[in-house]
Amino acid sequence: MVNGNTATQLGDIILVQSDIPIVGLESLSSYSDVTTGENSNTYFYRQFQYSVDGVTWSEWIPLTNANLAALTFEPGDTVFFQYQYIESGTVNGILTFDSIQLNGTYISTTPGPGFLASNFANYFIQNNIVSLLWSINVTNKLYQPGILPKAMVRGQTGNPQDDEDFLNTWRTVTHFFGLFVALAREFQTFYQNHDILLEYLTQRGSLLANDVLLDDLFYLMCNYLDEVRQRGTRQVFLKKGTRIPGIIEDEFDISISQAELVLPTHVAKPIDGEYLRFIGYNIMDEFLYNLNQNKHIGWNIGNSSPLYKGLEGRLNLNKYYCDFFKYSTLAQLSITSASLPYISRIEDPLNPDEGDSISWSESISESGSFSESGDEVVIEIKAPPLNGVVGLGGGGRKIVVNPNLDYEVTFFIRADSFTLGRASGKYSGDFWSGSGTGTVTMTFSDGQIATTSIVSGASSGPILAAIVTAINSQTTYTASTTGVGLTITAPVGLVYNGITCIQSYTVVTSGFQFLFNAPGTTITLTGASTNAPSFDFGIYAWDQNNNVVDTYNIKTLAISSYFLSQATLNKQFQYYFVRGILYNCNTYQPYNSGIPYDSGIIVSEGGAYYRANIDVPAGVDPSSNPTYWKSFTNTEILRMFPTNIGQGNNLIMSSNVIQIDPFILYNNVNGSSSNLYLYNVRVQPLRTQYSKGFIQTTNFLELFTTNNNLALSNDQIDLKTRKYLIPANVVMKTNYLDSAL
């Protein structure tokens, strides 16, 4: 008795047949099979038969390597095999057949030009399984009596070769109709075919690039009207996984790697918005949209002017984990496990309103104005042990950027109480005086006031001599002597620019500087605090494959990831605004006479810096061709190279930077016990190539994107976007970026 693939008695036959024909078989050489239970008393007797058309079959032939090698085939044959495994021997036994494999040579068949030019070639190959099996099935029915008249002679001699003309004729006809059957079945389940489903949705009016995934197309088919409803809203710009209000549905709660971000009453957007699908958005492409506030277009004091191209403070451009300041979870931030115990969210009554904090370069005796309307959430970084480094960055999250675009990383930072150096301060007094006496008052950052007298006496000494030298050369003098009640007196008769200087004052400090300026102007005294908190600020960078890549110091082009290293704060309880600029990979490079340069590129030559006014041919020297090159002034260099606080240097990306993670780290080299507080951390494009000072319109929308839709130009993308995706009262400007992938 045969049970499945097992024979148990002598004479049992296991019949094995291939369901799929072999097309292109050239020759066979041998076979191998897998059976169990065979021995000298009980074994399988093997034989086979074959068909080259699926209709007529050969006689049964003993299954041996020699018999297989003796077979001949034509390239167009559709070859089937049947096998008989007959239990043989002297006693009953349990024999099992598992598998059989034929070994031989196979040649690939090439479709003719007629098939390749047909619509069929868009969906399947010429000898596809559907059309082959349908053709064989119908030919077999035609071959049997009952459908075609007996006058069409076939199957009477028992020799398949006698029916060759009949079979070739009807196989041709049925195979041709089989192609239509295969095509119809493609459309029967069109939602399983990417190209057909894409065409279906395109004809229904969806805007799509060719590389939208099949699963996303299927979702669109099922939710077509809901997707159309989202036109004219920001939904068309939202990325897959973005939290949107709604009822959570398990089927579409696609939280990807950010499960902790999905909030109650919010659902992760199950598919990219229509605009992103239209441009062929890649998750490693830059994409930002910015609907400008009215104050950021036209002429608006402090916000917009005809020459201003910056993007500071734009609502929609922040690429940092901005939801942190709205939702209460540290999981949204990039924080290492070692730093996590030192970091928390708190409400800070000193949190600045937008634009109310002071710049580092402003007077430390001036106070910023702060929000009085209510406390705001900030990031608190508690003081780590001496030389400990903790803070934001390095936690594994990455922000996608484009190396062809300039970015700025900004934040507000403050510290609570720490010991201040008495030399931190500034005063405005009548430093230069022709005669007489008077009083100069200095107010220090800790609120103390020192009063000194202008006298007509003289004194001498090494400190005095150094100060006199500094005054005459207008340089900075740093005292190397520390002490309490140190008196410094300028001698009578010291003449500078025709004015006699006579002044004495007392400074109590552990280190100080004098910055001597022109007569009649402010003199600034600065000095280091004894235990002020210090911080590091910079960028980690990776390519699209998560390999670490370099960024460069813009001034020296040395590899560096730091905007600032061990920067210190000079004032307690005061938020300072800090900005580091990450310039694009083409911003600045040493001049090479052998290559051309695009307009806007900055080069260095002989210690000077130049910007290309227009596209520059190779060999046009910057120092002698003002038509092509504009030289930088010292003011322009100082504006571009250092950070906004006058310390450190901005950075340049390499051409393969695709992902970044800003780090702001409390580096406690001073052993400070003060805590640091961060607010409004932002990563966003630095500027546009145009100003909006002359745009007199509301609802001005800016896009930063890469067009990956190979079927449409940038202008065609913009035209359809304006027509179908954005409201009629919105003015759109698209900033297309070159792909870095």
Q: Give the Å distances, CA to CA, from 508 to 347, 482, 526, 527.
A: 37, 9, 13, 12
pLDDT digit string, tens, across residues 106-137: 888 788 888 888 888 888 888 888 989 999 89
Sheet holding 700-705, edge to edge: 288-291, 700-705, 731-736
d(CA 410, CA 681): 6
pLDDT average, residue stretch 206-217: 92
pLDDT at 362 over 60: no
pLDDT attached to residue 685: 95
pLDDT attached to residue 24: 87
pLDDT attached to residue 671: 85
Q: DSSP readout, 176-226?
A: HHHHHHHHHHHHHTGGG-HHHHHHHHHHTT----TT--HHHHHHHHHTHHH
- CA angle centred on 630, ends 628 and 633, rounded to 5°: 170
pLDDT attached to residue 156: 75
pLDDT at 632 over 90: no
pLDDT attached to residue 20: 87
Q: Give the Å distances, CA to CA, from 638 to 208, 503, 630.
A: 47, 33, 16
pLDDT attached to residue 349: 67
pLDDT digit string, tens, across residues 529-588: 457 788 999 999 999 999 999 999 988 888 999 999 988 887 788 888 999 999 998 877
pLDDT attached to residue 150: 80
In this structure, are residues 167 and 56 in contact, taking their beta carbons and an 8 Å threshold? yes
Percent of the residues in the chain that have a pLDDT greater than 70, as a whole number:
76
Give the domain ranges of the chain: 2-106, 113-188, 322-419+532-685, 425-525
Position 272 confidence tier, pLDDT thresholds 50, 70, 90: very high
Tell me which of 229 and 259 has the higher pLDDT: 229
Position 497 confidence tier, pLDDT thresholds 50, 70, 90: very low
pLDDT digit string, tens, across residues 36-77: 999 999 999 999 999 988 888 889 999 999 999 999 998 888
pLDDT attached to residue 383: 92
pLDDT at 524 over 60: no
Question: Which amino acid belongs to residue 578?
Answer: V
Position 154 confidence tier, pLDDT thresholds 50, 70, 90: confident
- CA angle centred on 227, ends 221 and 232, rounded to 5°: 155
pLDDT digit string, tens, across residues 286-344: 999 998 888 888 888 888 888 888 988 787 888 887 555 554 567 778 888 888 899 98
d(CA 501, CA 472): 11
d(CA 61, CA 81): 11
Tell me which of 393 and 345 has the higher pLDDT: 393
pLDDT attached to residue 246: 53
Classify domain 2-106 by CATH number.
2.60.120
Q: Phi and psi for 392 in degrees, rounded to 5?
A: -90, 145
Tell me which of 112 and 504 has the higher pLDDT: 112
CA-closest candidate to residue 44, choices 35, 57, 53: 35
d(CA 677, CA 533): 11
d(CA 541, CA 401): 10
pLDDT attached to residue 400: 94
pLDDT attached to residue 267: 74
pLDDT average, residue stretch 128-153: 87
CA-closest candidate to residue 204, choices 186, 227, 183: 227
Over its C-alpha atoms, the chain yields an Rg (Å, rounded) of: 41
Q: What is the mean pLDDT of the chain?
A: 77
d(CA 304, CA 306): 7
pLDDT digit string, tens, across residues 395-436: 888 999 999 999 999 999 998 877 554 332 333 332 222 222
pLDDT attached to residue 143: 85
pLDDT attached to residue 419: 58
- CA angle centred on 232, ends 227 and 234, rounded to 5°: 80
pLDDT attached to residue 324: 52
pLDDT digit string, tens, across residues 435-471: 223 333 333 333 333 333 322 222 333 333 344 444 4
What token pair was written down for 710?
């190979």
